[in-house]
Structure formats: C-alpha cells, structure tokens
Amino acid sequence: MTSTPPSADPPGAPTPPVSASRAAPGSRSASASRAAAGASWLPLPWRRRFGPGRGRGHIPWLSSLAVLVFQQVGTGFAAHNQRADTVGLDVAARVLLALGPVLLLLRHRFPRTTVFGASAVTLTYLAAGYPYGPVLFSVVVAGFAALVAGYRYATWGALGMLWLGHLLAFHAFYRRLPPEGEGPGPWGTDLFMAVWMVALCTAGELARVRLAERERREREEEEAAARRADEERLRIARELHDVLAHSISVINVQAGVGLALLDSDPAQARAALTTVKAASKEALGEVRQVLATLRAPGDAPRAPAPGLDRLGELTEQAASAGLRVTTRAEGTPVPLPPGADLAAFRVVQEALTNIVRHSGSRTADVRIRYGTDVLELLVDDEGPATGTGPTGGGNGLTGMRERAATFGGTVEAGRRTDGGFRVRATIPLRSGENRAPLQ
C-alpha cells in the first residue's frame, strides 16, 4: 500500500536547482561555468580571491605603485649613508628600481614569472654596484605572493638564484664588476640576505596554510548550507504530500459517494459533499501554514503543528470516508517533542490514507505504545488490497521512513500472514535501548 505519486508539483513546492552543466547556452549560469573553467589554471586557494571576476581582471595597481615610490625614494636616502665608492643612482639604476614594481603588476596572474623576474632585476641591480636599499622589497612582495599561491619550489628557486648570484658577484667575480678597485663584499650581507629569505619563506608558508584553512572552512560551510537547503526542501515536500494525499483521498471517496447517491439519496449525497468541503478547507489551511513558513523565514509558525492530540480529528475524517478506526493507547502518555509528535501524526495519517485508497477493508486498528525511551505505532487493516491505484513508486512509505529516520526511528510496512497489511513505526524519545516491539 503506497501513496500515489503526484502528477505535478504541489503548489508552493520549491523548484530543484538547475545544474550549471545543464544550463542553457548564453544563460548566466552557463557563463559562470565557462568563467570558472577558464580560471582552472589558478591554484585552489586563490580561485575565489583571484578567480572569475576577480583575479583575471584584478591588477594590483595601487600596491605596485606604492612599492615603486618606496624603492625610488628610499634608495635615494639610503645612498647617502653608504660608501662613496658605490656607483651613483643613474638612469639605469632608476630603470632597474622601476622594473621590479612593474613586474609586481603580474604577480596574481603569473606568480612564478614575477618572482623570477624580480629576483633577476634585483640581482642585476646589486651586481652593477648600485647602493643597497629597499630594492629587495620587490622580491619580498613577489615571493610572498608566489608562496601564498602555492608555488613554493619556484619561490625557493628564485630566492636561491638571487642569493647564489649575490654570493658569486661579491666574492668570486667582484674584480670584473663595477665599481673598479672594489674588494670582496662583507659576509654579513650574505648572512642577512639568507636570514630574510628564510623569514620570507616561513611567513609565506604560514599565510598559505591559513588561506587554505579558511577556504576549507568556507567550502564546508557552503556544503552544510546546501545540505540544509536540501533537507528543508524535502521536509516541505513531505509535509505538502502528507497534507494533500490524505485530504484529497477523503475528497475523492466522498465525491464518488456523492455522485453515486445524488439521485437516489440526496440527503446522503449532501452529507458527502459537506465532508468534501470540510476536508478541502482543512487541507487549504494546512497548505497555507506550510507556505507561510516559506514567506517568513526565521519566524515561528503562528499555528501549532499537528500532533497525536489531533488523532481524534484524523479518525473522524477517516470515518467520513467510510473507514472505521479503532485507537488504543498503552503505557503512560508523555509529552513528545514537537518534531517527534508531528512525525508520529503524519505516519498514522499516511497509513490511514493508504488504507482508504488501497485496501478493501473498512476498518483499521491504531495502537500507540508509550515507553520510556521509544514511541511505537502500529496500524493494521484486514485487507485485502483492492488492486486500484498504483502499487509502487509512490512517496507515502518513503516519506514515513524519512520522517522516522530524522529522529533515529524506523518504519516497517508489509503484508501480514492473514492477508492484511501492517505499518509499524518506532520513534526514539531519547538515547537508550528500544523496548520490546509490539506483537
């Protein structure tokens, strides 16, 4: 006994998201997919920061200009405090001081090229005998950007090239390099360069790890939000299905009775139509309650959710459809959490709906057993199945199982040996072992 799958989406049911891979050509989602594919050359930690709409079109003009001004002005001041035999800041020196910051404009697009280029320009400047100063700042910025982007080996190679080139220039080839008559350079300078290179690599690695961790957290938050959205969509779909399936089943039965007795027994036909009106009014009210939660996210629903305290209304509706329902409670009734109470009500409602639609029996037995740790529901009918309506592929039993599983419970449904049908549901009320099942 399964419920009939709806032929169309119920009113207000959320539309499933359209996959970007199936978006129509020329649509916004299709354009986003192409842009994301075009940014695949970026390392993962920078795809969002410098990806489509950011990295590809982002050129760090202001920061590069600041480095340019700092190197030009700072080197001029630093030159006054150094030895007089150093080469003066001529046009070539100014050009070399400008080349590094110019290369920094490309550090987000081509980090490896930038760090190697800045290192080569800096080495050329130092080997030409120009005074020390903030010329190394371009290498620091380019190396940091490359390390954060994940190009650690390229950065280490560029810094190693700069340090080794400086070592050779000032200790092996100093006689062939300007200024003339200059002796070998001090070893303290090489040690200083090695120290700040190690510090740069350490800071870059720490920044890369922190950025990757932040990306992981953002990705997990997005996945969790998507899961919550899917769960909410399924919850609303189950709620609408349960409301509409039960009420429309009652309406369908009573409408048939009314049509059959319209001429022979007008009074009975009028009673059937009255039941149709009442059932449709209740269904509309519950549908409005579900839709109200969508229109006002975050607000508590104004009407209480149905629970087992409304089981009498449920049996009255079933009786109006010609089904006599017997209810029994065992154990001491205890207050149920709102979610568990709603799930128990919907399980009984769906079980009775299936009996009305698919069973030849006009009686149903509902047993509710309250335990310390678990609530057990048992809905029986004598059968046999009528053979009308679909026998599989419906959403009724699936919805019942999903509702019970939300609270760690189970739903079992199947034919009995005497030809009837049984639905058994268990909903844990708190952690602990389940009590013995109903027999």
- pLDDT score of 125: 92
Please state the rounded mean pLDDT for residues 36-43: 42
Which residue from 69, 193, 81 is spatially nearest to 126, judged by alpha carbons? Answer: 193
Higher-confidence position of 305 and 114: 114
Residues 292-303 have pLDDT tens digits of 766 665 554 555
The helix (run of H) or strand (run of E) holding residue 420 is: none
Taking only the tens place, the pLDDT of each residue in 314-331 is 888 778 777 888 899 888
Q: What are 341's two structure tokens?
A: 């109470």
Helix or strand run (H / E) with residue 374: strand 374-381
Report DSSP letters for 41-55, one per residue: TS-GGGTTTSSTTTT
More confident residue, 11 or 240: 240
d(CA 220, CA 210): 15
- Cα–Cα distance, 359 to 343 (Å, whole number): 23
Render pLDDT for 336-379 as a digit per residue (tens, 0 to 9): 888 888 888 888 888 888 888 777 778 899 999 988 888 999 99
d(CA 413, CA 427): 15
| DSSP assignment of 3-59 | PPPPSSPPTTPPPPPPPGGGPPTTSHHHHHHHHHHHTTTS-GGGTTTSSTTTTTT--
Compute CA distances 91 → 60, 79, 80, 136, 141, whole Å.
Answer: 26, 15, 17, 19, 24
Dist CA 115 CA 313 (whole Å): 76
CA distances from 435 to 285, 333, 366, 372 (A): 37, 15, 19, 8
Q: How confident is the model at residue 35 (pLDDT cuts 50, 70, 90)?
A: very low
Highest mean pLDDT among 177-186, 198-207, 307-316: 198-207
- Output the pLDDT for position 246: 66
For the chain, percent of residues with pLDDT exceeding 90: 26
- 3-state class of 120 per DSSP? helix
Would you call 387 helix, strand, or coil by DSSP? coil
Supply the pLDDT for residue 79. Answer: 75
More confidently predicted of 86 and 173:
173
In contact, 141 and 63? CB cutoff 8 Å: yes
Structure tokens that stand for 51 in this block: 């990806």
Can you tell me the mean pLDDT for 408-431?
85
Asked which of 73-87, 159-173, 195-209 is least confident by mean pLDDT, the reply is 73-87
